[in-house]
A and B are shown apart, each in its own frame.
Chain A
């Protein structure tokens, strides 16, 4: 992997009495697409604003390419931001908006003109130079905001929920656009969102945050398939999270039934959280399984059926392409590989399962 570009060292931030970030450490590598993911109030936007220079951390350091930039004002930092509500200058047209940073830096007219042309092409809005920004749609304004940031050739582009105000279809299109732009520009993206699907689609690395802590950091696959705690499991996709006891290596007891699994090293008779994704539960009417139950709800979701199955005193969420009508007696089975075992949170601080809104 490439070399380290940004290092957040023991960053804490306090607003009045509330601790928004608690001794956070984060490393971002060059040319990485990092997504800070979490519910509102988890500290992800504050982290981004600390990197951008709009918020001073209460304690800790921001190291950029080996240099301490903690005290540097935003206008002196080699990063640019795409703001949540675009923050376009309404008293300027498209061209003037994009040229803003370049004019400040005293670039030549020719240079500025070429840059504007290039940037508008990159965001697929060629020929929009003279338009008023007020006359643009939300999606177009978003593209101008990106163009305005990238003409300054930042080494890192900070994006603060940039797609939050767009409708679903446009949001999905823009996700692919952003990936394409990132490839063309070859720079680092740090992206803030509360939308797990957005994070899974675009990122190289996802940083899941809650209540000022990093809950887990890893590739989208790691985050989805091997959540480290119940919060991550619950926040990323739907899942069944049940109490269990790790009897020995590769054997967990759930609801009084022994399930073979692949996890090791938890010790004997240790209470744990068990995560099973709804699509990993195999239902059968004929074959015996590990648990027996009754289908209580059935909803058609298009790609699959979503069912709730009452078994062993727990209501299991199950996704299946097969339909089992309400009232059907079924058996449940899970492959050992699909059972994810997690340590129970040890302290109050880690009890961070609540999701806002």
Chain B
């Protein structure tokens, strides 16, 4: 049933389009215009402007990841409990919206959140004070949560449906009430899903430049914006590559931290 060599075209493809391109970033990041070795592009992260963008990205990504987790976990539990028509419901909830361009959907939040937008109309109707959220970090977090929520729900849901009902029943049988069962059995068993959900939200949230551009009014710079500008308007590819290297290091570190919480190898009680 197949031969090892069947994988050869893809292995070659990966070397050509994944490995070599990454090597190119390393090369550009560690050289200057003349091709000479330099750490300047990497060290550029220390400048006030870049460092601020990096910390802001980290902070916003962290906040939106936590919000996603808090919103997604109950949703995944509910989806599991009404799982009779599960596959089609999941498709309707998470895949279908992707058929409307994500840029447009993010843009639509501008309409909803803007100062004369729908949200404020509703608040006014309810006699509540208007909120000024558009073009703030709050709006960016709003967009991040909206865009990446499915990537938190799906892995958690996929793990939850594999936890046998008998394990929950066993905990109940041994005297645990609903809350104890959740914290001692269900949640620890769902950790692999939580960890992969966190990764899938944190990385794109930390590196986005689109959401900050659309909902931040172009005034709020995230590290993604800095890098993007280095390549498009700034045309300083070496600087952009150097900053990308730093970004990759941060991604690797966060993944390494998360891997520790993945109970595959260790016991997390």
Contacts and interface: CB of A to CB of B under 8 A. Distances in A.
A binds B: yes
Interface of A: 52-54, 73-75, 79-81, 83-85, 87-93, 96, 100-101, 104-105, 148-149, 152
19 contacts: A52-B173, A73-B172, A74-B169, A74-B172, A75-B172, A75-B175, A79-B173, A80-B174, A83-B169, A83-B170, A87-B164, A89-B171, A89-B185, A91-B263, A96-B269, A100-B176, A100-B184, A104-B184, A152-B174
B174 A91 contact: no
For B175, B189, B191, B263, which residue has the most chain A Cβ atoms within 10 angstroms? B175
Contacts of A74: 169, 172-173
Contacts of B174: 75, 80, 100-101, 104, 148-149, 152
A149 B166 CA distance: 14
Contact of B166 (A53, A87, A100, A101): A87
B169 A89 contact: no
Interface of B: 164, 166-167, 169-177, 180, 184-185, 188-189, 191, 263, 267-269
B143 to A, nearest CB: 35
For A73, A96, A104, A148, which residue has the most chain B Cβ atoms within 10 angstroms? A104
A91 B191 contact: yes
A81 B169 CA distance: 9
A91 B188 contact: yes
Given A90-B189, A96-B269, A75 B177 contact: yes
A34 B268 CA distance: 39
B187 to A, nearest CB: 10
Contacts of B267: 91-93, 96
A84 B166 contact: yes
Given A93-B267, A104-B180, A104-B184, 8 more contacts: A54-B173, A81-B173, A83-B169, A85-B166, A87-B167, A88-B170, A100-B174, A104-B175
Contacts of A91: 188-189, 191, 263, 267-269
B248 to A, nearest CB: 32
Nearest to A90: B189
B269 A100 contact: no
For B174, B188, B191, B269, which residue has the most chain A Cβ atoms within 10 angstroms? B174
Contacts of B173: 52-54, 74-75, 79-81, 149
B163 to A, nearest CB: 9
A54 to B, nearest CB: 5
A75 B182 CA distance: 14
A130 B103 CA distance: 52
B175 A101 contact: yes
A14 to B, nearest CB: 18
For B169, B170, B173, which residue has the most chain A Cβ atoms within 10 angstroms? B173
A81 B175 contact: no
List of 6 A-B pairs having minimum Cβ-Cβ separation, nearest first: A101-B174, A87-B166, A87-B170, A74-B172, A104-B175, A91-B188
A38 to B, nearest CB: 21
A87 B268 contact: no
A328 to B, nearest CB: 54
A10 B269 CA distance: 43
A80 B173 CA distance: 6
A3 to B, nearest CB: 25
Contacts of A101: 174-176
Nearest to B191: A91
A95 B105 CA distance: 51
B239 to A, nearest CB: 46
A101 B170 CA distance: 10
Given A96-B269, A100-B184, A89 B172 contact: no
Nearest to A80: B173
Contacts of B172: 53-54, 73-75
A83 B168 CA distance: 11
A140 B9 CA distance: 46
A75 B173 CA distance: 5
A89 B189 contact: yes
Contacts of B176: 75, 100-101, 104
A96 B188 CA distance: 13
A273 B169 CA distance: 44
A93 B266 CA distance: 10
A73 B184 CA distance: 18
Nearest to A145: B170
Contacts of A100: 171, 174, 176, 184
A89 B174 CA distance: 12
Contacts of A93: 267
